[in-house]
Amino acid sequence: MRRARVDRNQPEIVQAFRRLGCQVAHTHTVGHGFPDIVVAVGRYTLLVEIKDPEQPASKRKLTPDEQEFANRWTGDLRIVTTIEEVAEIVDQIRKDQNRGGNNVTF
């Protein structure tokens, strides 16, 4: 089994989510196409696949395993390349939560 590779920009993407008050769990070592991180924005959870924008387009494509996972996954899965995208995602989720969407009560 090959060692899980961390994208160059993963630390800055993780830090951007955390600066916005999100919880982040690293999952890049799970394998089988599972995304790089799991993020909680309040009580909303999303999976995030990180791609490095400095890589050529061919290297930013989903691997066959990642694509297969994405095709099967019915929850929220995002591909993120920049910290600006992080801010947009978190802002949109919080707006949805404020309108009463994406809330889970136990």
Interval 42-95: pLDDT, tens: 999 999 999 999 999 999 999 999 999 999 999 999 999 999 999 999 999 999
Instruction: Give pTM, 2 decimals.
Output: 0.90
Say which residues have a Cβ less than 8 Å from residue 90's Cβ, sequence separation at least 6. 17, 20, 22, 41
Chain Cα centroid distance, residue 34: 10
How would residue 3 be classed by pLDDT, with cut points 50, 70 and 90? Answer: low
User: What pLDDT is recorded for position 106?
Assistant: 36
Q: With 90 as the cut, is the pLDDT of residue 99 above it?
A: no
Distance CA 93, CA 80 (A): 15
Contact status, residue 84 vs residue 42, Cβ threshold 8 Å: no
User: What pLDDT is recorded for position 5?
Assistant: 80
Distance CA 80, CA 3 (A): 22
